[in-house]
Amino acid sequence: MNIIVVGLNYRTAPLAIRERLAFIPSRTPEALAQLMERPAVRECLLLSTCNRVEIYAVTPQVEEGVDEIREFLAAFHGLGEEVVRPHLYTWCGAAAVRHLFRVAAGLDSMVIGEPQILGQVKAAYSQACRAKTNALIVNRLLHRAFSVAKRVRSETGIAGKAVSIPFAAVEMVRRIFGTLAGKSVLLIGSGKIGELAARHFLGHGVASIAVINRTLEKAQEVAERFHGTAFPFEELSRRLTAADIVLSCTAAPHYILRPLDVERILPHRQGRPLFLVDIAVPRDIDPQVGSIPQVYLYDVDDLQGIISSNMVSRRKEAEKGERIIEAEVARFQRWLADLDVVPTILALRRRVETVCEAEKEKALGALGEAAGRERAAVEAMAAAIAGKLLHYPIVALKSSRTRRMGNYYVDALRYLFDLTPDEGDAAGEKMNGEWDCQEGPAVGEE
């Protein structure tokens, strides 16, 4: 089996493409089910954030698996493959494992070392568990990714000098205004990213924070934590009239703010400019809103300059993280290589033991009513012969330096001994529940 990843991120695709390929949470189970219907996909996991969409899969055939996932991405979103393909990257084998470890550790993020991505990877794994698209390899891979991310954060200084998408959004607004003291803020959406933004806004001394959400109770929870005021979604126009700064990040699959909505409230603002920051993917605010006079609209791609200026010290620490990841990739690949040979080892053991058992019975039959000690000696000799015959092939299989060499030995043994391994034998090798599914909580946004 092979591990592959097919995806796109903020480096390979602009926001206009990322939002068209994003998976809203309510459709993720459907997407996972459709992926598992593809013949070459045996296990899968779907990671969709504001900065990336990635599908991790286990497949017996790399090329077929990659092609099927590319086709799925285009078909699910109603797009032509010619639109999607130029923005996609693919990794397989050790490169795919390395990529996931880097993603989980925050080394592949727009904000190097940001902590929210690990929560998102855990949430993606939880979704795979609920949809039952995970099995032996995905379980092991994800638990190793969680462990690697923890090591990188604890053994390096990559988390220093806090930088995040919400931090960058608030910092950009602060640079525009000079000071945020006395400003009124409207948060649209009450998720984790909104909470992080509210915390940063309070730290800069804003006068008030209003929170709007389609579910009023959720808006009230966030507002209470940050000394703000919650409003139902129907109050959006009135709150837009009063706010100096609007930050929007919902999970809506469509625009919640269009040019006409903004044009209606501008006469009531008495000439005050309106600053809108949209960090949702798909976007919450129609980009055409930014062309309205006295309205200034920014999205996640506008934050890169802010983020880059805070990254110098983190990049040095990231080098330490890369070394940790390389060691962990090698460790995982050794486990995967062993997994490939387990069914063949067990099949070979069964074949040798069957032959020895048959020959032992012949020998015991020839002895007739032999003494118990003689019978015991024959049985011990048969077991010893089986063990010695098995020793060197098994050692060679387990110690093969590469998966290619291991596969060569596997093919040779299967041919020479006419073996038909039971692929389910590998699953029977798990120990101590290490690969059992344990769901992780969703934490924030990348």
CATH code for the domain of 87: 3.30.460.30
Is the residue at 406 inside a domain?
yes
Q: Which range of residues forms the domain containing residue 112?
A: 2-161
So what's the pLDDT on residue 187?
93
Sign of the torsion angle spanned by Cα atoms 300, 301, 306, 312? positive
Strands 89-92 and 2-9: antiparallel
Is the residue at 255 inside a domain?
yes
pLDDT (tens digit per residue) in 291-307: 999 999 999 888 877 77
Do both 95 and 83 map to the same domain? yes
Do both 143 and 173 map to the same domain? no
Do both 229 and 349 map to the same domain? no
Q: Could you tell me the CATH number of the domain that includes residue 212?
A: 3.40.50.720
Is the residue at 316 inside a domain?
no
Number of domains, the chain: 3
Is the residue at 434 inside a domain?
no
User: Is 92 an active-site residue?
Assistant: no
Is the residue at 243 inside a domain?
yes
| CA dist list (Å): 205 to 97, 185, 244, 318 | 44, 11, 14, 33
Do both 246 and 292 map to the same domain? yes
Do both 351 and 405 map to the same domain? yes
| Boundary of a domain, candidates 161, 177, 209 | 161
Do both 35 and 119 map to the same domain? yes
Q: Nearest to residue 245, comparing CAs of 179, 163, 318?
A: 179
Is the residue at 441 inside a domain?
no
Question: Per-residue pLDDT for 270 more than 60?
Answer: yes
Kindly state the average pLDDT of the residues 268-292.
Answer: 92
378: pLDDT confidence band, cut at 50, 70 and 90?
A: confident
Is the residue at 151 inside a domain?
yes
Do both 156 and 170 map to the same domain? no
Could you tell me the two tokens for 121? 């990877």
Do both 404 and 371 map to the same domain? yes
Among 69-73, 417-421, 429-433, name the one with the lowest average pLDDT.
429-433
Do both 180 and 298 map to the same domain? yes
Do both 270 and 352 map to the same domain? no
Do both 185 and 257 map to the same domain? yes
Do both 156 and 197 map to the same domain? no
So what's the pLDDT on residue 439?
40
So what's the pLDDT on residue 410?
77
Question: Per-residue pLDDT for 364 more than 80?
Answer: no
Is the residue at 439 inside a domain?
no
| Boundary of a domain, candidates 121, 142, 161 | 161
Annotated catalytic residue within 44, 50, 92, 356: 50
Single pTM value for the model: 0.67
